[in-house]
Amino acid sequence: MNLLIDIGNSSIKWACYGKVLERGAAVPLVLPLAETLAAAWNDLPTPQGVFVSNVAGQTIADEIVSYCREHWSLTPVFMTVTRDCKGLVNGYAEIGQLGVDRWLAMLAGWTRHNSSLCVVDCGSAMTLDIVLADGRHQGGYVIPGAYMMQEMLICNTSGIRAVPGEAAGTGPGDNTQSCLRNGTHFAIAAFIDRVVGDCESHYADEFQCLITGGGAAAAVELVSVPCIHEPGLVLQGIAIAAGIG
């Protein structure tokens, strides 16, 4: 068994991996991590290896390293962005500027589908990356996620009194809270629809839309284009990049 870890901006998602993703969960990213990690992992058997995608910075990485060395005498392997992998070719001029989670999500999607893709990750930020059928990454987009949009409006606008949350639908709200929630989630869905449509027109090809991340379930319910909810896309990408999947 290997342990795969996807560290985002607000949570840590993990899964045990044999030949497929097995037992796993998500825990909040709150420092210090020692108690949180102990509650999640203390009853796990010692893994053969620990493989990590981390976009949360060095302090978080150091805590993961400390836990793995103390409990399992293992040093985790942190995944990095490469110029190419498994036929997927990075479209960034400076590959180090691309978030490793985006790269791994694309890698998993490309390996599974081998077709033109729009790979969407709905997290604190929402990212959308475009991959052509021949594996060439065309770049992508980064915008605030729905919850971040809501928090920015609440914090920076004196007249808005609401609590961030899920949308109740796409219709107009009848109070400030429903206006805020529906509007931001609908904005995410409309953005995805627009980009997928533009890609299909520009490249004269059909694009498969894959949606992952903590806000994926809400986005899948609201988008108009055909899409697939892929909850463990980054974790799958870790396994592929590590050579164990």
Sign of CA dihedral 117, 122, 123, 126: positive
Q: Is 129 a catalytic residue?
A: no
CA 83, CA 45: separation in Å to the nearest integer?
35
CA distance 100 to 79: 7
Rounded to whole angstroms, how far apart are CA atoms 60 and 29? 9
Contact by Cβ (8 Å): 185, 219: yes
Distance, CA of 130 to CA of 138 (rounded, Å) = 5
Task: Provide the token pair at 156.
Answer: 């920076």
> Any long-range contacts for 145-149 (C-beta under 8 Å, 24+ apart)?
145/188, 145/215, 146/122, 146/181, 146/184, 146/185, 146/187, 146/188, 146/215, 146/218, 147/184, 147/215, 148/124, 149/184, 149/187
Question: What six digits make up the tokens of 233?
Answer: 């896309």
- CB neighbours (10 Å) of residue 120? 31
User: Which residue among the candidates 101, 121, 134, 205 is catalytic per the annotation?
Assistant: 101
CA gap 167, 173 in Å, rounded: 10
| Active site members | 101
